[in-house]
Structure 1
Amino acid sequence: MRRGKIEKLITITSILLIGILAMFFHFEIHFENTLTKLPESDFEVNISIWRYLFEPFLGPLIFFNRAIYALKELPLALIWFTFIYLFIDLILVYINGDGRREMLLKKLSNLPLLLGICFSIFVLILFIPLPNNTIINHSENSVLVTTHAHTEYSHDGLISQVGMWKWHKRNGFDAFFITDHANHKKSLQFSQAQRKGEFEITPLIMVGQEHSGSNHMSLLGLDGTFEAKGKSDKAVIDSVHKYGGTVIINHWFDGKGKAKEFYRDLGADGFEIENVGSDLYYNRENYEELKKFCVANNMTMIGGLDFHGYGRVCSIYNALEIPNWKLMEPMEKEKAVVDIIKNGPQEKIKILLYKDRDYYTDSSLIFRPFMTLVNYFRTLNFIQVISWVFWILLFQFVKERVKSSFLDPDKMLVLLGGFCVMFLLVLSGLYYSKGMSVKGYNKVYLEYFEVLGMVGFVLLVFVLLLGYLRFSRKPIIN
């Protein structure tokens, strides 16, 4: 009876905390113009119906995916999850009294399972396109464009050309450039197929290439007569301009290239002022320095999505002011996009950043996962709160009416590990198949096939062993 009262108290407290954070400490998700740092009222957040239905399962995963320093914060969150789970287990061992040794062995045997489950969650968050929030464009003349994206015909891409097109359509874009590394012929074929009517014309596919010179550059508006192999930075930029294209210096913030003045003197047309391929924000001092430089030298500032088919969900949009877009032919549209990126004016280019939390530095991230969880609940709207309440109450209802032996946490953990095994091995097989189909273009498919396959196999062996011990009639580890 006492345990039942405690569980009900936890349920009520959880619901109250979620409601209080969402109602009284609410953070309104919006799109911010990164150049003015002001919200853009013409653009609204669209929440998928799947998010509403399964918010407790999808929402936190996507919110952690959007973390400012996702690749640092995600592992920290999973480490904390493992630590807290084991800590609670050890308390239960201590309280148990009799049979402590057997119970301790059981709880310690959970550790490899937990690590495998956490690895699977990490892969799920970063590699599987979950139904994230997207954009609704209410503006009269703004066209949403990506200038930096990679398909499986790039050595580091994990998405097909069709998948890239569907992804941009789902996220509300009007047009996008494919900028595969050292290759634009495959992108040209795909673009030509679209313009021949083989599939829908929106979003419009435009051809680019990422050139790895002294710094990575997006070469935009290529028509097949261009070749970059073996050329100097200067020759590449001149050639792109000769054929009517434009050149943007990518992720200059990473410090691997030369001084910004070097690229100005070469004739580059602009810089990525934001790039959300890894961290959501670059060092703000560098950002302000580059912004002032671009303004002083009349160079274009653009937002780089740097999408590879995995990693952060869509967090940045370029909104270009192009009147009568829907009335234009595809070639007219591409020419208008290239011209405004090359020549501006900057007032016609808005860089929109998806904003669901306040900015923070990476100086102290150890406890950040807890703050991220609090911030997640602050962003929920009424329907999302109702979704949480429904699932919490449903879980409590089921728990009270199903035999406790069926819901044994240690057995459930083995079953969850089994699902993770299937997930990792199926994804590994898929990557192997994809890797063989684009061999010579792509490296990461086969690299991830090996990693996922190895982890999946090791986890499979452990799950089978532990499953036998826990589900057999005469368990060795109860």
Structure 2
Amino acid sequence: MIDYHAHTNASHDGRPGWTLAKLAQWHERQGFQATYVTDHNVIYDRSLPVPEGTSISLLPGVEWSVYRQHVVAIGRVEALPRDSFGESTARMVRMFAVIEHQGGLSIASLPEYWRYHEEELGAFVRGGVDGFEIVNCAPKALGFPPDLRRQVVALAASHDLVVVGASDNHGWGQVTCVWNVSQPGAQGFHTNRVFARPLALVQGDRQAWTAPVTQPWFMLRSLTWAERASWLTWVVIILLYRALPRREGQAAGLGILARSLGRRSRKTPPPPSPTPVPNQNPT
């Protein structure tokens, strides 16, 4: 089980403090045995020490930002002059041959090739791209249209190119939406199988920017009525808990909610009437 695309805080948009160790721990919790580390324009070449206690393989890679496209380069990769691959698609696709010459593999990342090069994917193939992402967990990539995904899979199959899924984790998401099962020794299209959460695929029928709203809605629709009631009840409890003021030094916990509700349910007796003070002045 492998992830082909993930970031640490070495990327400009990585979560602060999202170290290599935390990235490895996150992947381990998601069931991965390995991940490529593909920071933006920062090569991970395994020169950094593997974090102590890491049980998964951290593999070398980088994500190059070039002309209207991000290219994930994995395996044996070296620095290259990115400026040489700007200004046009024709110049950008030359990068694929350079990566191959270095001994690496090049994968076109989502959502860029869908947004900017949908009509030029043939040029990617002729330029020597090794594969395409067909699922990417970044919110901006979840809107990848199902029809175009099928076209890309067919294109890859006809040219024996690999198709992959990518968590594209930057330290913000709690779970992945996709896994890859790779077959050691296999080549091309049959190298990898992609397994994605249905929620990640159904978003393709909606605009990508609606994901923060539609994803919870799709999840809610997939539950039974009993599960929905339980889920919403916990949401209300948590919101109430977070809204209640805390006294200084009082430990956090649901006990605060119980004590607060208990205090609110008891009626407070009215204060006693003041006792009249006898007149102390002598008559």
Q: What is the TM-score of this pair, normalised by structure 2?
A: 0.67
**Residue pair 2:21, 2:54 contacting (<8 A) in 1 also:** no
Superposition pairs of residues 125-140 of structure 1, within 5 angstroms: none
Mapped partners of 1:230, 1:389: distance in 2: 54
* 1:320 Cα deviation from its structure 2 partner: 0.9
Which of residues 96, 99, 108 is equivalent to 1:240?
99
Counterpart position of 2:76 = 222
Whose radius of gyration is greater, 1 or 2? 2
For residues 238 and 256 of structure 1, do their structure 2 counterparts lie closer, same or farther at Cα, with a shift above 3 Å needed? Answer: closer
**Residue pair 2:199, 2:219 contacting (<8 A) in 1 also:** no
For residues 178 and 400 of structure 1, do their structure 2 counterparts lie closer, same or farther at Cα, with a shift above 3 Å needed? Answer: closer
Counterpart position of 2:262 = 401
**Residue pair 1:357, 1:375 contacting (<8 A) in 2 also:** no
For residues 392 and 227 of structure 1, do their structure 2 counterparts lie closer, same or farther at Cα, with a shift above 3 Å needed? Answer: closer
**Residue pair 1:356, 1:379 contacting (<8 A) in 2 also:** no
Counterpart position of 1:206 = 59
**Residue pair 2:7, 2:171 contacting (<8 A) in 1 also:** yes
Q: Say if 2:134 is the partner of 1:273.
A: yes
Q: Say if 2:145 is the partner of 1:283.
A: yes
**Residue pair 2:156, 2:163 contacting (<8 A) in 1 also:** yes
* 1:380 Cα deviation from its structure 2 partner: 7.7
* 1:376 Cα deviation from its structure 2 partner: 5.8
Deviations 1:258-277 (A, max 9, x none): 61011111111111112221
Counterpart position of 1:179 = 38
For residues 391 and 369 of structure 1, do their structure 2 counterparts lie closer, same or farther at Cα, with a shift above 3 Å needed? Answer: closer
In terms of fraction of residues, the more helix-rich structure is 1
Q: Say if 2:195 is the partner of 1:352.
A: yes
Counterpart position of 2:254 = none
Aligned pair count reads 232
User: Gaps (5+ residues) in structure 2?
Assistant: 86-91, 241-256, 268-283
* 1:296 Cα deviation from its structure 2 partner: 1.6
Mapped partners of 2:192, 2:225: distance in 1: 28
Q: Which amino acid is 2:63 matched to?
A: E
Mapped partners of 1:380, 1:176: distance in 2: 37
Counterpart position of 1:316 = 178
Mapped partners of 2:32, 2:261: distance in 1: 47
Mapped partners of 2:133, 2:117: distance in 1: 14
Q: Which amino acid is 1:275 matched to?
A: N
Superposition pairs of residues 41-56 of structure 1, within 5 angstroms: none
For residues 390 and 213 of structure 1, do their structure 2 counterparts lie closer, same or farther at Cα, with a shift above 3 Å needed? Answer: closer
Q: What is the TM-score of this pair, normalised by structure 1?
A: 0.42
Deviations 1:446-469 (A, max 9, x none): xxxxxxxxxxxxxxxxxxxxxxxx
Q: Which amino acid is 1:264 matched to?
A: V
* 1:392 Cα deviation from its structure 2 partner: 8.7
Counterpart position of 1:54 = none
The 3-state SS of whatever aligns with 1:216 is: strand
* 1:250 Cα deviation from its structure 2 partner: 0.8
The 3-state SS of whatever aligns with 2:98 is: helix
Q: Say if 2:120 is the partner of 1:259.
A: yes
Mapped partners of 2:125, 2:201: distance in 1: 33
Percent identical: 19
**Residue pair 1:274, 1:281 contacting (<8 A) in 2 also:** no
